[in-house]
Amino acid sequence: MSIRPVALPRSAFAQTVRVPGDKSLSHRALIFAAMASGKSQVIGGGPGADVASTRRVLTHLGVEYDGITIRSKGVDRWQSPEAPLDCGNSGTTLRLLAGALAARPFRSTLVGDASLMVRPMRRLVDPLEALGARVRLGHGGRPPVEVGARGPLRGADVEIPIASAQVRSAFELAALQAEDAASIHGPTGYRDHTERWLTAWGLGERTDDGRYRVLPGNVPAWKYDVPGDPSSAAFLWTLAAARRDAVVTTPEVSLNPGRIGFLQVLEMFGAEISAEVTSMILGDPIGSVTVRGRGLFHAEVDGELAVAALDELPLVAVLGALGEGVTRVRGAAELRAKESDRIAATVDMIRALGGGAERLDDGFVVLGTGFLEPGVVETQGDHRIAMAAAVAAIGVDGEVAIDGAEVAGISWPGFYEQVMALWS
C-alpha cells in the first residue's frame, strides 16, 4: 500500500479534459458484444481494473479479443467455465454476468476480491429465480454466487425494492434469453443505460405503467463508441466548483439522467454549470459539461437525486465541508453496500481532514467551514474515496496524505497526474 501526498496550487485553472471511457457503459458494451454472435468493436472503453475484470471473465466463456475487436459465437455458445470466475473488485461485473449466466444450461460460480466477497447479493435472487433460474449464494447472502438454469427461462413480472441499475440489468440480461417476455418495476433515478440500448434494438420497451418489458431475442453485433465517464469527470468538476473562477470543460461524457444528479447538486452549491447534449449512443445522451467556480454554499440531497448522484456522494461531502452552512445527504443507504461502507468512509475522510461530519443511517451531515486541514485519509480500499481525498486537498493549506492511493486505478489509472495537469 502506498501513501501518496497531494498538495494543490492556490490559483485558478482553465482546462478542457477528455476523461476516460465510461465504466458502466464499457461493462455493458463488452457483455453485449460477447452475447452477440459475430464481430463487435468497443472503442474508448474504460482503462481501469474493473473493466479489465469483465473482459477477463468473458475470455473464460470463450469470447476472443483482438485490441478493440471482440469475436463471439453468441451467448448460446458460451463455454461452461472450468473454474470460479474472478470479478476482482467489480460489483458490476459480478452482478451483470450473474444475470447473463443465470440462463445458461451450466453452472457458473462468480467470486471476487476481499471487498467484493462481502457485498450483498441477495437482491439478485428473487428476480432471477422468478425467471426460473437457480441461484445459490455464500454465507450471509454474499459471494460466491452460483447461477445456472435446468431448462429454458420463462417470462415473469417482478418488483424490486431498491433503485439498482445492476439488479435491473442482471434481470434484463437473463430475461433476453427467456422463452417469453418479462418485466421489471422498481424505484426510479437509476442509470437506465441497459434499457435504452435494449429499446434501441427493439428488444425491450417501457410500458405505460412504468415497467420495463424485455422482449427476448438476439443482441446484434455492434460498434460501440464509449463516451467519457461522468463519475470520473465529477472529480474535476468538483475541483473547478471549489476554486473561484476556475473552469473545466469535459467533452463527450455520458449525460444519462441517472448519471448527472451531481450536476444539479453542484448548482445547489452555487457553481455555474452548462451541459449540452451533442450526440447519442443507442438512445443514450452524450454531451459536453462546463463547470465554473463561483463560491460554495450547501446542498440537500435526497430521494431520486441521491440515486442519480450515488457514486458522487463522497464529493458532495467534500463540497459541503468547503462550503457554507450544513449539507445533508439522505436516501442513500445503498452507499453502505459499495466498495466500502461509503457512508462511514466518507465521514471518516472529512474528519481525518479536521472537518465536521456525522453518519446517518441513510447518508451523512457535513458542516461547512470553508476549509479542511492536512491529514491522512484511509481509502478503505475504495477508489472513489481515494480520489475524493485528493480533491479535498483543494481546500487544505498543506498536504492530504492518501493511504492506499493506488486503488484509484480501479476506475482511473493516471488520475493524480491528471489532477496536477489542471494547473499546467
- Applying CB under 6 A, which residues contact ligand S3P? 24, 27, 92, 164-166, 169, 190-191, 310-311, 334
When computed from its CA atoms, the radius of gyration of the chain, rounded to whole angstroms, is 21
Residue nearer to ligand S3P on the CB measure, 144 or 186: 186
What are the beta bridge partners of residue 292?
Answer: 247, 272
Q: What whole-number distance in Å separates Cα of residue 347 and Cα of residue 402?
A: 15
Q: At what angle do helices 49-59 and 91-102 cross, to 10 degrees?
A: 30
**Shortest distance (Å) from residue 258 CB to ligand S3P:** 8
Q: What whole-number distance in Å separates Cα of residue 374 and Cα of residue 192?
A: 39
Q: Has 302 been annotated as catalytic?
A: no
Residue nearer to ligand S3P on the CB measure, 249 or 340: 340
**Shortest distance (Å) from residue 147 CB to ligand S3P:** 17
**Shortest distance (Å) from residue 123 CB to ligand S3P:** 8
* Residue 209 identity: D
* Residue 331 identity: G
**Shortest distance (Å) from residue 30 CB to ligand S3P:** 12
Residue nearer to ligand S3P on the CB measure, 172 or 252: 172
Distances (CA, A) of 345 to 240, 352, 383: 23, 10, 11
**Shortest distance (Å) from residue 410 CB to ligand S3P:** 10
Q: What whole-number distance in Å separates Cα of residue 28 and Cα of residue 49?
A: 15
**Shortest distance (Å) from residue 305 CB to ligand S3P:** 14
N-term to C-term CA, the chain: 28
Contact (Cβ atoms closer than 8 angstroms) between residue 379 and residue 385: yes
* Residue 292 identity: R
Residue nearer to ligand S3P on the CB measure, 70 or 310: 310
Cell 485490441, located at residue:
67
Q: What whole-number distance in Å separates Cα of residue 384 and Cα of residue 222?
A: 31
Q: What whole-number distance in Å separates Cα of residue 5 and Cα of residue 403?
A: 9
Residue nearer to ligand S3P on the CB measure, 13 or 224: 224
* Residue 271 identity: A
Burial of 10 from C-beta contacts in 10 A (0-12 / 13-18 / 19+): exposed
Dihedral (CA of 23, 24, 25, 29) sign: positive
DSSP 8-state assignment for residue 277: E
Residue nearer to ligand S3P on the CB measure, 165 or 393: 165
Q: What whole-number distance in Å separates Cα of residue 99 and Cα of residue 168?
A: 9
**Shortest distance (Å) from residue 17 CB to ligand S3P:** 21
**Shortest distance (Å) from residue 191 CB to ligand S3P:** 6
E strands within 57-128? Answer: 64-66, 69-73, 85-86, 108-111
Residue nearer to ligand S3P on the CB measure, 284 or 311: 311
The one catalytic residue in 311, 382, 397, 403 is: 311
Residues 6+ apart with CB under 8 A from 160: 123, 126, 127, 167, 168, 171, 184, 185, 186
Q: How many residues does the chain have?
A: 424
Residue nearer to ligand S3P on the CB measure, 169 or 340: 169
Catalytic residues: 311
